[in-house]
């Protein structure tokens, strides 16, 4: 039997730095897969934007990633997944994995009592994508949502614990938990919220399971590569190539990413995505 292998990179798209939470899970799980990450920092945040802007910006970024000859696309941004996934699928000639379904399946599996809370950006909440995906996984589940518009700027400012972070998190979560005290699983439906996990867990207490989509998205990507027999055949101890590009300011991207993630990143490239769209048109 001949084994097929595909060394082309996996494309990972986010509105900015937050999708690095998904990228790092992917690289931990699939170290021999090359990756190209694009953050649309020049136009982030997507959370408060109109759905049509999110769709137009996402289409430009996806066109740029497709031009990098990727074998699979991961839409790591919850807002872009919630508002633009069907369009991304239409636009792409490679398989596309979004973060909403993997997160929804994780939340549906985590609840014992059938009551799930979702925290996300305003755009993701308005789309209704998470309640739809969670009830698709299990129609009996009751879903409550809460938009948390101040949490992305808070994380980007490096405030992930301490009194201010706790106050903000409490301000969003306590009313939701008071409204439905049976919530026993909380889904972090935004790329940035896993960075606040310790604070969130302290606020919700031990009876609420906190889940995010980074881990389950990486599993979905691995399963898909196996199903398509499209894994890279690179082996050995070194990790595969990892390109990181931004539509924004490189130094600003690196500063926020290092503040948020702690480690040093590979060199960050500055790119223009409008060029990718016009060259496709
Ligand atoms: N990446 C976005 C998300 O997961 C959060 C940041 C933004 O609003 O652009 O929804």
Domains and their CATH numbers in the chain = 10-98+215-280 (3.40.50.1860), 101-212 (3.40.50.1860)
Q: Is 191 in the pocket of ligand 1 (CB under 6 A)?
A: yes
Q: Tell how far the Cα of 207 is from the centroid of ligand 1, in angstroms.
A: 27
pTM: 0.94
pLDDT on residue 276: 55
Share of the chain above pLDDT 90, in %: 86
- 3-state secondary structure string, 13-57? EECCCCCHHHHHHHHHHCCCCCEEEEECCCCCCCCCCCHHHHHHH
Q: Is 152 in the pocket of ligand 1 (CB under 6 A)?
A: yes
Measured CA to CA, the distance from residue 117 to residue 167 in angstroms comes to 19
**Where do the DSSP E strands lie in 68-135?**
72-75, 96-98, 115-120
DSSP classification of residue 175: H
250-261 helix and 20-29 helix, angle to the nearest 10 degrees: 60
Q: Please report the atom of ligand 1 found closest to the CA of residue 15.
A: 9
Over residues 33-61, mean pLDDT: 97
β-sheet bridge partners, residue 101: none
Per-residue pLDDT band at 279 (split at 50, 70, 90): very low
Q: Tell how far the Cα of 81 is from the centroid of ligand 1, in angstroms.
A: 10
Q: Is 83 in the pocket of ligand 1 (CB under 6 A)?
A: no
Per-residue pLDDT band at 211 (split at 50, 70, 90): very high
Q: Is 58 in the pocket of ligand 1 (CB under 6 A)?
A: no
Share of the chain above pLDDT 70, in %: 95
Q: Please report the atom of ligand 1 found closest to the CA of residue 18.
A: 1
DSSP β-ladder status, 10-14 and 72-75:
parallel
β-sheet bridge partners, residue 117: 144, 186
pLDDT on residue 112: 98
Measured CA to CA, the distance from residue 43 to residue 278 in angstroms comes to 18
Positions marked active-site: 77, 190
From 12, 16, 23, mutation site for ligand 1 pocket: most ligand atoms within 8 A of C-beta: 16
Q: Is 77 in the pocket of ligand 1 (CB under 6 A)?
A: yes
From 81, 191, 260, mutation site for ligand 1 pocket: most ligand atoms within 8 A of C-beta: 191
From 46, 57, 124, 125, mutation site for ligand 1 pocket: most ligand atoms within 8 A of C-beta: 46
Measured by CA distance, the residue closest to atom 1 of ligand 1 is 77
Instruction: Say if CB 195 and CB 159 are below 8 A apart.
Output: no
Region of 96 please: left (phi>0), alpha (psi -120 to 50) or beta.
beta
Over residues 248-270, mean pLDDT: 87
pLDDT on residue 2: 46
pLDDT at residue 278 greater than cutoff 50 = no
Q: Please report the atom of ligand 1 found closest to the CA of residue 192.
A: 5
pLDDT at residue 3 greater than cutoff 60 = no
Cis bond before residue 45 (omega within 30° of 0): yes
Q: Which of 23, 147, 8 is nearest to 76 (CA)?
A: 23
């Amino acid at each position: 039997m001949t084994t097929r292998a595909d060394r082309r990179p996996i494309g990972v798209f986010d509105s900015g730095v937050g999708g690095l939470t998904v990228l790092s899970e992917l690289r931990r799980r699939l170290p021999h897969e090359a990756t190209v990450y694009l953050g649309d920092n020049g136009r982030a945040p997507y959370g408060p934007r109109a759905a049509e802007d999110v769709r137009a910006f996402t289409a430009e970024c996806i066109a740029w990633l497709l031009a990098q000859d990727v074998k699979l696309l991961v839409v790591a941004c919850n807002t872009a997944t919630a508002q633009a996934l069907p369009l991304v699928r239409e636009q792409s000639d490679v398989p596309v994995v979004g973060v909403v379904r993997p997160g929804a399946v994780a939340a549906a599996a985590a609840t014992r009592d059938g009551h799930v809370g979702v925290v996300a950006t305003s755009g993701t909440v308005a789309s209704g994508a998470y309640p739809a995906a969670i009830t698709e996984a299990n129609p009996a589940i009751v879903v409550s949502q809460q938009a948390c518009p101040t949490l992305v700027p808070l994380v980007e400012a490096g405030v992930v614990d301490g009194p201010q972070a706790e106050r903000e998190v409490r301000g969003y979560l306590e009313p939701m938990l008071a409204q439905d005290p049976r919530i026993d699983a909380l889904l972090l439906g935004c790329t940035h919220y896993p960075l606040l996990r310790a604070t969130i867990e302290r606020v919700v207490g031990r009876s609420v399971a906190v889940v995010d989509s980074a881990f389950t998205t990486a599993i979905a990507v691995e399963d898909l590569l196996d199903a398509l027999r499209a894994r890279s055949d690179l082996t050995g101890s070194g990790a595969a190539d990892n390109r990181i590009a931004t539509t924004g300011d490189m130094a600003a991207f690196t500063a926020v990413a290092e503040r948020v993630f702690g480690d040093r990143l590979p060199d960050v490239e500055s790119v223009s995505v409008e060029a990718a769209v016009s060259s496709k048109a």
